[in-house]
Structure 1
Amino acid sequence: MAGFAISMVYISMRKGNAMWQLQQLRHFVAIYEQGSVSAAARQLGLSQPALSRSMQRLEDAVGLVLFQRDTHHLRPTDFAQSLYRQANRILQESAGLDRMVGRHREGKAGVISIGCGPFVPDILMQMLSGPNVLAQGQRLDIQVGEFHTLQKGLYAYRHDFMVYDLRLRQRLPDQDDLVTHPLLALPLRVVASPKIMAASAVAGSDEQALKTLAFEQRWALPRVSRNYRRETATWLTALMNERGGPDYQLDTISSCLALCREGKALTLAPDSMIAGDVASGALCILPLDAGVDAQPSMYRLRSHPLSEPAARVWQFLASSQT
């Protein structure tokens, strides 16, 4: 339809003949997040009276009070808290539609965007680097991030799908709209350079000596969510708590392994990423139980049908073995 602009779409949540505009929802979300009309007005670049009038129109349309006002701040009502969750979803999907139209207009429909959590990007590239995965003119855009950030990207249609730990599924809203497909569970091994082992003269079977060595060495780890930290073995949890985290916090396992090969740090990695190095003697596995594994799973939305290229990648991953 000529001249159609998604950003001007009206959201038909009716009360009588009233209709809410996306703009009013944006105003509401800004006030909810900022906690005051003045702060939200500054953020939006509006005057306070204009923003107050917008909220009054929204409250009139709803027939309910959204904020309890006192001298110092606004307190959202129970209804406002429920509305905030739905309004965020609506605004994200609207922005996603804008981006989808823009990508097609710019000829970027062949880009497959995948949001990835820790331990995933390198494994994905192992799986997707073979021939016949991507057709001519198609390319992968793999973006690494934390769960909360990737979740926003999924619901805003910035990602065709995301790959993250299966154990976090329940944190996603609207489970009926969610499609998941688990990939293989990947135990994580404690990995070191033979240089470190030779310098320490620690016997490979002496667990206590190996743990002492682990406390003495630097560590390189990818950025992980709290659930990984909670599940690590007691000795590794104590080590990270003592240091306040790893010495090197990097985006990917491959970056951590690069430091490990040089003898600069220990790291954790799945078997599939270290088999060649272990066989060649470039790395060695320490017989210590890290107490954690990666359980990558693919997530997509039923309400966001995959493009043909993205669907092909999804099916390839679903049928592949690492």
Structure 2
Amino acid sequence: MNVHHLELFYYVARHGGVSAAARAMPYGIQQPAISAQILQLEDALGVTLYQRRPFQLTREGQALYDFISPFFGGLGEMSDRLRGGGEKRLRIAAAEVVQRDYLPELLARMRRRVKGFHFTLAHGRQQEIETLLAAQEIDIGLSTLMEKTAANIEARELIRLPVVLLVTRQSGLVKAAQILEQDRIDLPLVTLDSRDVLPRAFQSALRQRGLEWMPSLEVGSLDLVVRYVAEGFGAGLALRHPRVDLPDTVKALPLEDFPALSFGALWTGRLSPLGETFLAEATALAAELM
């Protein structure tokens, strides 16, 4: 028997069906792939393991589940034991602005609440975080969110962030419409990488309004967007983060009719109790920031 097929069957039997199993799997796998591999397992054994509609284990399926359940059900506990108390260690990923301005306070709250709490930290935006989650390299990520997440990735919105244009104070600009209502926008646009959710959402909103303004400079962080604007290299596309101050030479022009972007937490499968605690603290902090 293929051990991977047995693992998939364990999740199907435990959660009562293929679709529920796909949501609970600790790594990304599509429902059709699960179904196909369960069929391979049944072919190898020469028996039907469960009725599809409504879901119900057969006698053979129940016997197999009872046999493999102690092993697969105990893997999480064994993993924690081998990591030396991993139940108090959380693996987190977040973008640099979150790491700098919000995570220190959030982590300090966790230390006050969970004795012996420790963590690892990786950099990433949504697509990178989803990749890390699928590879089981992190437990939870904090990121600006696109409308859709990858299969098996859970998301919870924590706060909505307004989109703004950054300009120098000496530019004389007082509202975004002074830029967007031009027949031809010559002002260079400084943004994050075009694959990031912020410039993608901005370009989509421009197209809906029949406008065109392509990036001239793509930089690696929102801090760099601010820096290039401050140096007079163009207007910057940014999010208005709470408690993040701009340099005196830079001001933000609200894009009031542009949709705000969702910022939230990402994870896969069922969060551990430690992960649930972290999410609760993150939700409380976001509420305070609002």
How would you bin the TM-score normalised by the shorter chain?
0.5 to 0.7
Equivalent position of 1:150 in the other structure: 129
Tell me the distance in 1 between the aligned counterparts of 2:226 and 2:210.
Answer: 18
Alignment of 1:295-314 (within 5 A): 295-301=262-268, 303-306=269-272, 308=274, 310-314=275-279
Equivalent position of 2:102 in the other structure: 127
Tell me the distance in 2 between the aligned counterparts of 1:12 and 1:132.
Answer: 38
CA contact (8 A) 2:187 2:235 kept: no
CA contact (8 A) 1:219 1:266 kept: yes
Picking from 233, 249, 259, the partner of 1:282 is 249
Q: CA RMSD in A?
A: 4.7
Shift of 1:291: 2.1
CA contact (8 A) 2:192 2:222 kept: yes
Picking from 224, 232, 237, the partner of 2:196 is 224
Tell me the distance in 2 between the aligned counterparts of 1:108 and 1:266.
Answer: 49
> What are the superposed Cα offsets for residues 6-56 of structure 1, whole Å, 9 maximum, x if unpaired?
x88944749xxxxxxxxxxxxxx9xxxxxxxxxxxxxxxxxxxxxxxxxxx
Picking from 253, 269, 281, the partner of 1:316 is 281
2:280 aligned partner, one-letter code: Q
Alignment of 1:6-155 (within 5 A): 10-11=6-7, 13=9, 61=44, 105-107=82-84, 109=86, 110-116=88-94, 121-123=96-98, 125-130=100-105, 132-135=108-111, 138-147=118-127, 149-155=128-134
CA contact (8 A) 1:112 1:139 kept: yes
> What are the superposed Cα offsets for residues 34-87 of structure 1, whole Å, 9 maximum, x if unpaired?
xxxxxxxxxxxxxxxxxxxxxxx8796388xxxxxxxxxxxxxxxxxxxxxxxx
Equivalent position of 1:186 in the other structure: 161
> What are the superposed Cα offsets for residues 93-149 of structure 1, whole Å, 9 maximum, x if unpaired?
xxxx99996786355835433344xxx5414642322273242662341431443x4
Label 1:312 to 1:58 Cα distance change in 2 as closer, same or farther (>3 A): closer
Equivalent position of 1:233 in the other structure: 206
Q: Share of identical aligned residues, percent? A: 12
Label 1:113 to 1:228 Cα distance change in 2 as closer, same or farther (>3 A): farther
CA contact (8 A) 1:259 1:265 kept: yes
Shift of 1:248: 1.9
1:132 aligned partner, one-letter code: A
Tell me the distance in 1 between the aligned counterparts of 2:192 and 2:257.
Answer: 13
TM-score for the superposition, normalised by structure 1 = 0.52
Tell me the distance in 2 between the aligned counterparts of 1:269 and 1:11.
Answer: 44
Q: Which moved more, 1:225-234 or 1:121-130?
A: 225-234
The number of equivalent residue pairs is 227
1:305 aligned partner, one-letter code: L
Equivalent position of 1:267 in the other structure: 236
Which segments of 5 or more consecutive residues in structure 2 lack a partner in the other structure? 11-28, 30-39, 47-73
Which segments of 5 or more consecutive residues in structure 1 lack a partner in the other structure? 1-6, 15-28, 30-56, 64-96
- Corresponding residue SS for 1:204: coil
With a CA cutoff of 8 Å and minimum separation of 6, indicate the structure with the bigger relative contact order: 2
- Corresponding residue SS for 1:315: helix
1:263 aligned partner, one-letter code: G
TM-score for the superposition, normalised by structure 2 = 0.57
